[in-house]
Every structure is written in structure tokens, then in C-alpha cells.
Amino acid sequence: MTTTQNLRVAVVGAGMMGADHVRRITAKISNADVVAVVEPDEARAAAAAALAPGALTAASFEDALAQTEIDGVIIATPGFLHEPILVTALERGLTVLCEKPLTTSAEDSLRIVELEQQHADRPKIQVGFMRRFDAGYKELKALRESGDSGALLALHHAHRNPTTPPNFSESMLIHDSVIHEIDIIPFLTGEAITSVEVKKPRKNSLAPADLPEPQFVLFTTESGTMAIVEINVNAQFGYQVTTDAVFESGVAYIGRDTSLALASAGATSQGITPSFKERFGAAYDEEVQRWVDAARLGGIDGPSAWDGYTASVVAEVAVRAQQSGAHEQVEYAVAKPAFYETTPVDALESAAAGA
């Protein structure tokens, strides 16, 4: 679609992230309206729809499509439910912002990538790797690209959540949480991940009995840059995502000073964000606005289904590494199709102007 009208958006899934996107689109985003909230839990659906005047509620995506005109869809269900919604959206020619992970298996993600190329002439699915829109990550990428501090040698990532929701399994440490570093490491280094290894230190007794964590996930990229991720999702004290980047002639830190530090009464104190909604609030705002702007021109402006696919490949190997304890190599089944060489937004704009 290319339109000068507001983008009519369906939000599928009205849990924490879906409801936050409904609120965001209604309160902050220009040129888009939430027209449908799709959620089988009626109370949740009603609560989210109340944030978007005029939005209808529906128990399934098909019900919503039967009731109203939809141009774009935000998929915010649990990851294992993404695939059928992606398929329907592609068949209908809709533009999609799909929360991470694209799907929970490399095979399913590859199917989506193939289907997208069959149904569309340019990428229609953007994946919700919001860290790419965070100011700190953007600056770090620019620093690496400038070469001002020399080559990037190593990354230390800390990924800490206060607690996990019920039924959070060991593989979800990867598919739900480390998937963000799996995306951001190639973004920062400009290189694909080639191997993964997982080490498990002493278990936190405050984590659920069947969740062996924290864990250290060690990634290597094509040139030998190493990235270590401390995944620690029952850290109790708050939400903290930091990266220290070791260059040949300097070290860069991001994510530590996300709020004002106060020195008073003989001590320094600084707030810690309670969840990813606050830590990455500005990144989500930019991600969604850019998706809306590109969707109105018929494209995307952010990580594509291809990025979702490569992340799924690495995640699958990382889950294997959790179990084997071995150094596991990453193999990608196909090379990047030309279709996924990003269509810059200015090309979308001139195409729309000529249309």
C-alpha cells in the first residue's frame, strides 16, 4: 500500500507489549490509528482497546480482518504463535511489525522468508529488534564504523531482568532474551555470528527450580570478535541492559547511565529501570514511528525477516549449546537473497512520489 491516509493498524496480542504498542500508537505516533485489538482473553482485549478510542476487539486475526479494513499489523503474541499470523498477513499483502523472535525455529523462519519473496516485491515484515533504535547502540555502531578507536575486539553484554514470568523455560533464555544480543552483535560488528558456546555458573537459588541461570553465552563472529552475554533474568533488583565494547585503542560503555545520578547525604544513588518498557521506551517509539512511515509507503524501515531468520538460526544453535556444553558452529542454510538488500526509505519516497 502507498497512502496519504493514516495507517490502520491491528495489534495482535494484548499482553504487556501489545497493550504498550496500543497506548504508544494512540498517544505518541503520528499517521496511524489502532483499529483492532486481537486477543482471545476478553478482559485483556477490552483493557487494551480502551486505550484506543474506536478500536474493535476480536478473538482472532481472521475475525478482525472480516470486520474492518486493516493496512498493517503488529504481532505481539508469544513467539510460538507468530507464524500463522505472519502467513495470513503476507497472503493479504499487509505490512507487519513482528515482535521478536520472528518464529521459534530456523525452519519456520526460513519458510516465512521464502513466502515473503513469493507474495511481495519488497520486504513487508519488520522484526521488533528495538535495540537497533536505541541511541547508545546507534552510537556504538557508528564508532566501530568510523574506525576512530581501531578494530572492535570484544563485547561484554549484561542482560538482567528482575524476575521471569511463570513457565519461563531454559530455551526461552535464548529465544526470548538473548535473541536481542543475537541480533545486536551482527548489527554492531557488521559480521555474522559463526559459533556459540554456553557456560553455566552456580545457579541463583532465587530463580525457579527448573531454570539454571545465570548463564554465559559466548559468541564468535567472522573476524574472531568475541561477545560474551551474561543472561541473568532473576536478578531481583531491576532491568539492566549494558554493553562494554573493547576496541584496539579504547573501551566504550553503553546502558549504564540511563537516569540521573544523585550525590547526596554521603552517597551516590541512581534509578534503575523496572522493565524493558522504560529502558527502551524511546527506542520503541522510534521503531514504531519509522515502521508506520515506511508502511505508508509500502515498505519497512528496520530489521527484516532475513534478520529474523539469521537470528533464529543462531538461537537454535545456542539452545543446542546450552544442552551440549560444546563449542557449536553456526551454519546458515541459504545466502542472503538480493530481495533483502534494504530498500532505503528515500527510494520508497521517490517511488511513492512517482506513483
180 belongs to the binding site for ligand ISE (CB under 6 A): yes
Q: Which of 151, 86, 157, 155 is CA-nearest to residue 124? A: 86
Q: Quote the least distance from Cβ 176 to ligand ISE, whole Å.
A: 4
224 burial type by CB count under 10 A (0-12 exposed, 13-18 middle, 19+ buried):
exposed
Choose between 57 and 234: whose C-beta lies nearer to ligand ISE.
Answer: 234
Supply the minimum distance, in Å, between the C-beta of residue 122 and ligand ISE. 27
Looking at the Cβ atoms of 124 and 159, the one nearer to ligand ISE is: 159
| Using rule CB under 6 A, residue 220 touches ligand ISE | no
Smallest distance, ligand ISE to C-beta of residue 276, A: 4
Q: Is 20 a binder of ligand ISE (CB under 6 A)?
A: no
Strand order in the sheet with 125-128: 56-58, 32-38, 7-12, 72-75, 95-99, 125-128
Of residues 269 through 288, those in contact with ligand ISE by CB under 6 A are 276
Q: Is residue 144 part of the contact set for ligand ISE (CB under 6 A)?
A: no
Alpha helices of the chain — where are they, by DSSP H? 16-27, 42-49, 61-67, 82-91, 106-119, 135-146, 170-172, 179-189, 276-279, 281-295, 305-324, 345-354
Nearest C-alpha neighbor of 189 from the set 224, 159, 240: 224
Give φ, ψ of 118 to 5 degrees: -75, -35
If binding is defined by CB under 6 A, does position 177 make contact with ligand ISE?
Answer: yes
Amino acid at site 355: A
Q: Under the criterion CB under 6 A, does residue 215 sit at the interface with ligand ISE?
A: no
DSSP assignment string, 257-293? -SS-EEEETTEEEE---SSHHHHTHHHHHHHHHHHHH
| Contact call for residue 161 and ligand ISE (CB under 6 A) | yes
**Min dist. Cβ of residue 130 to ligand ISE (A):** 7
Measured from the CB atom, the residue of 20 and 328 that comes closer to ligand ISE is 20
Stretch near ligand ISE under the rule CB under 6 A, chosen from 28-36, 132-140, 174-182, 282-290? 174-182
Comparing CB distances to ligand ISE, the nearer of 39 and 71 is 39
> Is residue 11 a contact partner of residue 21, using CB atoms and an 8 Å limit?
yes
Buried b (16+ CB within 10 A) or exposed e, 281-313: bebbbbbbbbbbbbbbbbbbbbbbbbbbbbbbb
- Give the number of other Cβ atoms within 10 Å of residue 29's Cβ: 20
Stretch that binds ligand ISE, among 1-9, 84-92, 175-183, 306-314 (CB under 6 A): 175-183
* Angle 97-296-3 from CA coordinates, rounded to 5°: 145
Q: Does position 176 bind ligand ISE by CB under 6 A?
A: yes
Question: Binding residue for ligand ISE (CB under 6 A) from 45, 74, 233, 330?
Answer: 233
Q: Judged by CB, which is closer to ligand ISE: 64, or 241?
A: 241
Joined together, the cell numbers standing for residue 18 give 501489545
Which residue's Cβ lies closest to ligand ISE?
Answer: 177
Which residue number, 176 or 328, has a Cβ lying nearer to ligand ISE?
A: 176
> Which of the stretches 173-181, 205-213, 219-227, 321-329 binds ligand ISE when contact is defined by CB under 6 A?
173-181
Binding site for ligand ISE (CB under 6 A): 159, 161, 176-177, 180, 233, 276
